[in-house]
Amino acid sequence: MRRRGLIVLLGLAAVAAAGAALRARGGARPLVFSGAIEARTIEVGSLVGGRVVAVRVDEGERVAEGDTLVVFETDLLDPQIAEQAARVARARATLARVERGPRSEEVERARIEYEAAETDRRRLEPLLAQGSIGQREYDAALVRVATRKESLEELRRGSRAEEIDETRAALAGEEARLALLGRQRDEAVVRAPAPGVVEALDLRPGDLVAAGAPVASLLEPDQLWVRVYVPEPRLGLVRVGQAAAISVDTFPGREFSGRVVEIRNEGEYTPRNIQTLEQRADQVFGVKIGVDPVPELKPGMAALVRLIP
């Protein structure tokens, strides 16, 4: 019995040692995965669309940020902008007049009219006492005096705050309308939002483009990455920020630098539907490797990624 127990213990120790050796060999395997180089694609378009009058670039051409790609006609929009600009100028002049208040000449004219009305009233007062005129005629003179006096005081007080606010609001509305038309005018010129290479552009002068429809696709060659899939048992060896070396068939023996920038939180399976317990080992996690941009690497190249522990 003692001998049998010893044999069992030795067997267990051998199995454990073999397992440790297998795990050590598995952990020492290089972290090499296959993928393809990808680049960010930008769909460029116009918020207003219209009829194409000029196409300034060709497919495959490299463009800088702000370069003009496509120009739409503005024959219908330019007159609206001119008309609205006139309305803005008129609203600004009105606001300036209201803020300044009445002119000194207007105040002086109101004063003269008030004093003339008061003079007439004083002339009629003794006539009323003598009975030469009726009460109604004298009352009409009093009304003229009161009216002219109130007009004078109103001019001296200047514009009311409510009137100034109303005029300012009207000007703001006209300016907003002009800004909207100007924004639409800007959208008539489609420009590159970032440096890139024109991947697709199939337009000719005279073509009609709907509002919001893309007119060109740009590839940003400075935004390169490789998406690889790491089996779940080896995911613990991968971390964000980990250095990576990328190689492509076109440059054998040369490696390009990169870094792990993303590890997906949710795994997936190959095949996608698990059929057996053994297939649980087929679970993989997507890992995105950012590639330091170099002119030699192009989107679509097959690549091998070696993660550096």
Q: For residue 271, is the peptide bond before it cis, meaning its omega torsion is within 30 degrees of 0? A: yes
Query: Measured on CA atoms in the order 106, 108, 110, 116, is the torsion positive or negative?
Result: negative
| Order of strands across the sheet that contains 68-72 | 189-191, 68-72, 50-55, 208-209
Beta bridge partners of 18: none
All structural domains of the chain, each given as residue ranges with its CATH number in brackets, are 29-41+219-307 (2.40.30.170), 50-74+186-216 (2.40.50.100), 77-185 (no CATH)
For residue 283, the model assigns a pLDDT of 83
pLDDT at 268 over 70: yes
Please list, in sequence order, all residues whose beta carbon lies within 8 angstroms of the beta carbon of residue 277, skipping any fewer than 6 positions away: none
- Average the pLDDT over 195-220 and give the result: 92
Percent of the chain residues topping a pLDDT of 90: 48
pLDDT at 226 over 80: yes
pLDDT at 83 over 80: yes
Rounded to 5 degrees, φ, ψ at 135 are -65, -35
Please, what is the average pLDDT of the chain? 83
181-186, long-range: CB < 8 A, 24+ apart: 181/77, 181/80, 181/81, 181/84, 182/81, 184/47, 184/48, 184/77, 185/74, 185/77, 185/78, 185/81
For 71, the token pair is 């120009």
Instruction: Select the more confidently predicted residue: 152 or 210.
Output: 210
Q: What is the pTM of this model?
A: 0.60
For 84, the token pair is 């609205």
SS3 99: helix
- Average the pLDDT over 67-96 and give the result: 95
For 43, the token pair is 């769909």
- Report d(CA 285, CA 268) in Å as an integer: 6
For residue 158, the model assigns a pLDDT of 66
> For the purposes of burial, counting CB atoms within 10 Å of the CB of 247, is it exposed (0-12), middle (13-18) or buried (19 or more)?
middle
For 235-248, write each residue's pLDDT tens digit.
899 999 999 999 99
Please list, in sequence order, all residues whose beta carbon lies within 8 angstroms of the beta carbon of residue 120, skipping any fewer than 6 positions away: 141, 144, 145
- Report d(CA 242, CA 257) in Å as an integer: 11
Closest CA to 302 of 38, 88, 105: 38
DSSP letter at 192 equals -
